[in-house]
Amino acid sequence: MANKNEKSAAKKAAEEKAAQQAAQVENPAEKQEDISLAKIVSMSKNKKGLSNDSKVTLANLVHEAWVKDEDYASVRDGAIAIRDAFMGDVIVTSMIEGHDAFSWIIRKDEKKYLAVKAVLAEQGITLPEFKALPAPTEEQLKLAGNVENPEETRVVTVTAADVTEEAKDKKKKEKALEATNPTTNPAEVKDEKQLAASLSSLLTKSSDNIAVRIKTVINFYRGYLTIQANKAENKEEELKKVKEMSRTEMLEKIAEIVGPCPFALDGHGKIFRNHFVKSGTIISPFCLYRRTAIGADKDAIDDAFLADVVKTVIIWSCNSAIANAQRNIKEHERLIKKNNDIIKKNEDSTDVTLAKTALRYNENQISAANAIIEQMNATITDLKNPSFDGIDTLVEDYNGTDDTKAEYKRAHLIVDNVVKTYYKDVDQTKVDKDAFLKNVQQRAGIIVNMFRDPLSQSIAYNEGNIVELTEKPAEEESKN
C-alpha cells in the first residue's frame, strides 16, 4: 500500500498540473498549439472589451496556429487565404462593435502581404500600402508572445474608415439577427421568417469552421422538414421526399431561404471562386479547402461532403454577386430616366451637360454590372459540370518537356494540388513514378466526378483503380 507521503506527492503533482493547465487557458499565448482558429474567432467576437493590443495578440495566434505550428504543416499553402477570410470577419465585427482600429503583426514579406490585401479587399477591407507599415512597438511584441525575428515584422492597422459601408451594414444585420436569439430547435419554428432567422444565425453565430456549420444547418433543416412532414395529411409521402433529398438539394434550398450569402461564408466563397476561375479546374479550390478543413478539425471529413460545401459556397457567392449587380442596374436605370428627363425638360445648358455626363457614367456602370452577371453565370455553369480537360492526359502532360505549354503548367498544378492534399507523406523518390502519377490522375478524376451529376460522371475514375504504392528495389532507386 502506498504511504501517506506518496499520496501527498501524487496529489500535489496533480494539483500543480491542474494549475498549469488553468494558467495556459488564461494565457493562450503560452500554449499556442491548443488555440484553434475557431476559438480565436470566438474570442475576438465575444470579448467586446478587448483592447487593440489584445487584438494583436489574437491575430498573432492565428498566425502561430495556422502557419508556424508543425501540426498544420500540411495546410500552410492554403491556410493563409482561409485564415484571412476569417480575419476579415473578425475585423468587420470589431468595427461595428465600436472599436476604432484593429491591428495585427505580420512578417515583412511584401508578396504575401499583397495576397492578404487582395483577399481582404474582396470583403470590403482596404489595407495600407506595404511600405507604410510601421515596426511593432515593444509593448505590441510583448503582448503578441514569442515573435521570431521581430525586426522582420510589421504592424497592420485597419480603421473603420478602411471598411466599406456595405460590409459594415451586412455584418450589422447579421449581428442584429443573432441578438434576437433565433431558436436552435426546429420544433419551435412556426413560419418561414423564423426558419430563415434560425438558419442564418446557425451559419453566422457559430465559431466552428464552415464544414461543421453547414453540417449543423443541414441537420436543423432536415429536422424541420421531418417535423412538417409528420404534420401533413400525406405523411408517408412527405417523409419519403425528405429522406430522398440529397445534401446538395438541402444546401440549395437553405441558400434560397437565407438569401444573400453570410459575410464570413462569402469571403470563403470568393476565395474558392477565384481559385476555380484562375486555375481553370475545380481541383484547386477543393484541395485548398480539404487541406484546411482536415487540418482544422483533426478529424477525417467525407470528401463528398467537402465537395458539396465548396460547390454550394461558390454558387451562393456567385448568386449574391448577381443579386447585387441587379440591384445596381435598377438604381442606375432609375438615374438614367431621371437624367433623361432633365435633358428633355431643362433648357439650362449646365444642367443638361451634367445630366449627359451622369448618363455616360450610369450606362458604364450598367455595362460593368452586366459583365459581372455574365461572369458569375458562366462560373456557375462551369462548376455544375466541370470538364475532365487535362485529367485524361494528365500523366502525358506532366511528363512533357516544354514547360511553357499551357497543358504542362496545368498538369503540374493539378499534380501539385493532389500530392499536397493526399500524398504529402510519400517520398516520391522511393516509389514507382508511373504508378504514383496514375494514382494522382485517378484521384484528380474522382474529385471532378464529385462535382458532376451522377449520370455524367466518368467511370474511368474510381477508388478501386488506386493501387498501393510500394518502395522500389534498392538497385532501382540508385539508378534515379
Residue that the C-alpha cell 421526399 belongs to = 241
pLDDT value for 49: 41
Q: Is residue 81 located within the same domain as residue 155?
A: yes
Integer Cα distance of 193 and 191 in angstroms? 5
Domain of 35, in residue numbers: 28-167
Residue 203 belongs to some domain of the structure: no
Q: Is residue 404 located within the same domain as residue 375?
A: no
Q: Which of 334, 358, 383 is the last residue of a domain?
A: 383
Q: Is residue 158 located within the same domain as residue 114?
A: yes
pLDDT value for 248: 84
Contact 413, 273 (CB under 8 A): no
Q: Is residue 375 located within the same domain as residue 276?
A: yes
Taking alpha carbons only, the member of 116, 272, 95 closest to residue 170 is 95
pLDDT value for 41: 47
Q: Is the dihedral of CA 112, 118, 124, 126 positive or negative?
A: positive
78 — pLDDT class (breaks 50, 70, 90)? very low
Judge residue 83's burial from the number of C-beta atoms within 10 Å of its C-beta, 0-12 exposed, 13-18 middle, 19 or more buried: buried
Residue 217 belongs to some domain of the structure: no
Q: How many structural domains comprise the chain?
A: 3
Residue 2 belongs to some domain of the structure: no
Residue 259's φ and ψ, nearest 5 degrees, are: 95, -140
Residue 342 belongs to some domain of the structure: yes
**Highest mean pLDDT of the ranges 35-49, 345-359, 458-472:** 458-472
Integer Cα distance of 104 and 157 in angstroms? 7
Asked whether the predicted pLDDT for residue 25 surpasses 50, the reply is no
Q: Is residue 357 located within the same domain as residue 454?
A: no
For residue 168, give the C-alpha cell: 459594415
Q: Is residue 307 located within the same domain as residue 376?
A: yes
Taking CA atoms, 309 is separated from 178, 210, 217, 265, 451, in Å, by: 23, 8, 12, 10, 11
Residue 87 belongs to some domain of the structure: yes
Asked whether the predicted pLDDT for residue 330 surpasses 80, the reply is yes
Q: Which of 135, 151, 167 is the last residue of a domain?
A: 167
- Give the rounded percent of residues in the chain with a pLDDT score beyond 90: 38
**Highest mean pLDDT of the ranges 106-110, 168-172, 386-390:** 386-390
Q: Is residue 43 located within the same domain as residue 141?
A: yes
Query: What is the Rg, in whole angstroms, of the alpha carbon atoms belonging to the chain?
Result: 27
Integer Cα distance of 433 and 430 in angstroms? 9
| Average pLDDT across the chain, whole number | 79
Q: Which of 349, 383, 417 is the last residue of a domain?
A: 383
pLDDT value for 60: 54
Q: Is residue 334 located within the same domain as residue 419?
A: no
Integer Cα distance of 401 and 254 in angstroms? 48
The predicted-structure confidence for 404-444, as pLDDT tens digits, reads as follows 999 999 999 999 999 999 998 888 888 899 999 999 999 99
pLDDT value for 242: 93
Minimum mean pLDDT range among 137-141, 218-222, 341-345: 137-141
Asked whether the predicted pLDDT for residue 125 surpasses 50, the reply is yes
Residue 20 belongs to some domain of the structure: no
- Outline where 27-51 has alpha helix (H): 37-46
For residue 421, give the C-alpha cell: 492534399
Residue 404 belongs to some domain of the structure: yes
The predicted-structure confidence for 368-385, as pLDDT tens digits, reads as follows 999 999 999 999 999 999
The predicted-structure confidence for 181-239, as pLDDT tens digits, reads as follows 889 899 999 888 899 999 988 888 655 567 778 888 999 999 999 999 999 999 999 99
Q: Is residue 114 located within the same domain as residue 60?
A: yes
Residue 12 belongs to some domain of the structure: no
Ranges of beta strands (E only) in 225-317 are: none
Q: Is residue 417 located within the same domain as residue 462?
A: yes
**For residues 457 and 208, which has the higher predicted lDDT (pLDDT)?**
457
pLDDT value for 333: 94
Q: Is residue 330 located within the same domain as residue 443?
A: no
Q: Is residue 85 located within the same domain as residue 147?
A: yes
Asked whether the predicted pLDDT for residue 42 surpasses 60, the reply is no
